[in-house]
Structure 1
Amino acid sequence: MAGSDLPPLAALRAFEATARLSSFKAAAAELFVTPTAISHQIRQLEEYLGVRVLDRSPRNVSLTSKGRELYEATVSGFSEIRQSVVRLREIQNSRALTLSATTAFLSHWLVPRLGEIRRVLPELDLRLHASETIVRLQPGEIDVAIRYGKGPFTGVETTPLKADGFAPLCSPGLNIADLEDIRRVALIHVDGRTAPLPLPDWPRWCAEAGISGVNTAAGLRFSNSMHAMQAAIAGQGVAIVSLVMAADALASGLLIQPFNHILPGDTYHFACAPGIGSHTDVNALRQWFQTELEAM
């Protein structure tokens, strides 16, 4: 003991609680020990210090002058320790969460809503990862992803979010009023699509909509759905576009959906690495996606 700079922590905790509550019994109840154990800790503390810190009477416990000095120091010290513990827990609970999704989903749907995520989930440190291929989910690397398909997906925990649909969209400036107008405007195509199947293309849409005499091979061709949608917004023609991806352009009036017939697509899923689905930050982000997409 002689070589130690501090008395035992248990003794300091017993002293602080007893001084604050003015009772051995109350301090014992708070610390889940017996009053005898509290008395022993206080006696051990006084032997260590060589001074008396508490005056005892059958009905009362009070601080001595030396005890008051020690009490003020312990209150301050324990308060700083508690604050540090709270900060450390906050840092741990607000760890960075990395989400992977396609460039199209991030650009057209998620990035415009980042402000809303910050408002609803201010403690979430969200990192975005763009990938056109499915990436392996692993805690601390890529934690969660938005995946598109019929599901389920192996090796991850998934929650269905929103079924997609595809429809011809165009600028309101094209003045398309009925199916016959399709014959006088340029068709915009997206080559290289691999999902959903069957593909949401012009031959399929015209066949299902009951319109004939349209050269579905002619028009503008893009290898990227984002470029096709931008061409439609610019009034270059009509593109068959994901209604989820075009939600903001439709809401703002940059695009219109002149026809009711919709080709069904696949479903957007929230996926997370195994074992983290119940984590507070992952669950909060999942619920945010469910709320936002269900409201569309």
Structure 2
Amino acid sequence: MSEARLDLGWVRVFEAVGRLGSLTAAAQELGLSQPAVSYTVRTLEQLLGATLLERGHRGSALSPAGERLHRAARAAVAELDAGARAVRRMSRRPVVRLFTDYGFASFWMMPRVAQFRQVRPDTEVHIIASAAADPGADEAEDVAVLFGARTDFGAGATQLFEERVFPVCSPHFAARHGLGENPDAAPGRLAGLPLLHLDSTPHPRWFTWRDWFAALDLAREPGAGDLSLNTYGLVVQAAIADQGVALGWAGLIDGALADGTLVAVGPALARPESGYWVRPGPEPSGPARELIDWILGEA
């Protein structure tokens, strides 16, 4: 004669009891009363004709029969929970997390988010920006766009654009200080003007004003009129507000140059092996790969 099938309402209760080793702890985790959990286990023991828990003053331990049944319950709960998560994901719009720094988020990504939405209206992009986005950090992102050198990234990263900087300021500031009159004299003239510094880390990976002047064989120490700011967005805003001259990063500052908000007032300094890189997460989803392809196409 075939055996009667068990009602599976006990599975999650027994899995919690065996995992926690306590009827009371299992009840608290499941939001049930301790008597209800105890009744479920006793009923299961009666149906199976076997002792599943060895009860003691310090809790409950699984008997050999209980250990065998708990392995099956644990596997069933894990499989059911995984299936439920998958079904929930199917009913939601896919979300792609993009980890980057404030500069890239503000000046490159945000102006283009609407364009990506037109291409993939069913995908949400969550931009996670940080002032100290480290290329060596193990962030739990789907896609990362980070600044660094080629050696900072593995084979899976692709360079978007190289590091290339040049002095920029507002048109009014340039006119007031005669920066557009003689381009050859610009480096020496800039040495006597207020400079805007990006000062967000003790050991910057990017070009600084010291690097720019050194490349032109000029010495220039920070002056009393200089201003240091901890995000690139503030540096650009200060330049637009006639506060001084900033280093403009090609790829980030292009829009401000195109609309005339800022003007270039000196030669460029480039470092091809450095710049912004796009890096996929450990297991990129289909929408994440589509976002990567779109970013590469835009850049």
Q: TM tier, shorter chain? A: 0.5 to 0.7
State the secondary structure of the residue aligned to 2:157.
Answer: strand
Give, in angstroms, the shift of residue 110 of structure 1. Answer: 1.0
Q: Distance in 2 between matches of 1:253 and 1:181?
A: 22
Structure 2 residue identity aligned to 1:208: A
Give, in angstroms, the shift of residue 152 of structure 1. Answer: 5.0
User: After the TM superposition, which residues 179-190 of structure 1 pair with which residues of structure 2 at under 5 Å, given as runs?
Assistant: 179=186, 180-183=188-191, 185-190=193-198
Q: Distance in 1 between matches of 2:155 and 2:268?
A: 34
Give, in angstroms, the shift of residue 147 of structure 1. Answer: 1.5
Say whether the 8 Å CA contact 2:133–2:146 is kept in structure 1.
no
For residues 156-192 of structure 1, give each alpha carbon's deviation from its aligned partner in whole angstroms, at most 9, with x where no partner exists: 9422222121211111112212315425532222234
Structure 2 residue identity aligned to 1:233: I
For residues 86-128 of structure 1, give each alpha carbon's deviation from its aligned partner in whole angstroms, at most 9, with x where no partner exists: xx89947952111111122212221111111111222222111
Decide whether aligned partners of structure 1 residues 222 and 111 sit closer, same or farther in structure 2, where only a CA change above 3 A counts.
same
Q: Distance in 1 between matches of 2:260 and 2:269?
A: 19
Q: Distance in 2 between matches of 1:125 and 1:187?
A: 39
Decide whether aligned partners of structure 1 residues 209 and 92 sit closer, same or farther in structure 2, where only a CA change above 3 A counts.
farther
Say whether the 8 Å CA contact 2:164–2:268 is kept in structure 1.
no
Decide whether aligned partners of structure 1 residues 136 and 261 sit closer, same or farther in structure 2, where only a CA change above 3 A counts.
closer
Q: Which structure would you say has the larger Rg?
A: 1
TM-score under structure 2 length normalisation:
0.57
Give, in angstroms, the shift of residue 217 of structure 1. Answer: 3.5
1:236 aligns to 2:243 (yes or no): yes
Q: Distance in 1 between matches of 2:269 and 2:113?
A: 29
Q: Distance in 2 between matches of 1:103 and 1:238?
A: 20
Q: Distance in 1 between matches of 2:152 and 2:198?
A: 26
Ranges in structure 1 where 5+ consecutive residues have no aligned partner: 1-87
> What residue is the counterpart of 2:138 in the other structure?
136
User: After the TM superposition, which residues 1-296 of structure 1 pair with which residues of structure 2 at under 5 Å, given as runs?
Assistant: 91=90, 94-131=93-130, 132-134=132-134, 136-138=138-140, 142-152=141-151, 157-173=156-172, 174-175=174-175, 176-177=179-180, 178=183, 179=186, 180-183=188-191, 185-193=193-201, 194-196=203-205, 200-211=207-218, 216-224=222-230, 225-264=232-271, 266-276=274-284, 279-293=285-299
Decide whether aligned partners of structure 1 residues 204 and 161 sit closer, same or farther in structure 2, where only a CA change above 3 A counts.
closer
Give, in angstroms, the shift of residue 239 of structure 1. Answer: 1.0
In the alignment of these two chains, the number of paired residues is 198
Give, in angstroms, the shift of residue 255 of structure 1. Answer: 0.8
Decide whether aligned partners of structure 1 residues 191 and 219 sit closer, same or farther in structure 2, where only a CA change above 3 A counts.
farther
Q: Distance in 2 between matches of 1:271 and 1:262?
A: 25
Decide whether aligned partners of structure 1 residues 159 and 201 sit closer, same or farther in structure 2, where only a CA change above 3 A counts.
closer
Decide whether aligned partners of structure 1 residues 254 and 190 sit closer, same or farther in structure 2, where only a CA change above 3 A counts.
same
Ranges in structure 2 where 5+ consecutive residues have no aligned partner: 1-86
Q: Distance in 2 between matches of 1:274 and 1:264?
A: 28
Say whether the 8 Å CA contact 2:98–2:126 is kept in structure 1.
yes
State the secondary structure of the residue aligned to 1:249.
Answer: helix
Say whether the 8 Å CA contact 1:156–1:272 is kept in structure 2.
no
Q: Distance in 2 between matches of 1:272 and 1:126?
A: 14
RMSD over aligned Cα, in angstroms? 2.9
Say whether the 8 Å CA contact 1:156–1:273 is kept in structure 2.
no
State the secondary structure of the residue aligned to 1:100.
Answer: strand
State the secondary structure of the residue aligned to 2:264.
Answer: coil
Q: Distance in 2 between matches of 1:89 and 1:191?
A: 44
State the secondary structure of the residue aligned to 1:129.
Answer: strand
Decide whether aligned partners of structure 1 residues 151 and 264 sit closer, same or farther in structure 2, where only a CA change above 3 A counts.
closer
Q: Distance in 2 between matches of 1:94 and 1:152?
A: 36
Say whether the 8 Å CA contact 2:108–2:252 is kept in structure 1.
yes
> What residue is the counterpart of 1:29 in the other structure?
none
Instruction: Calculate percent identity across the aligned residue pairs.
Output: 26
Decide whether aligned partners of structure 1 residues 126 and 257 sit closer, same or farther in structure 2, where only a CA change above 3 A counts.
same
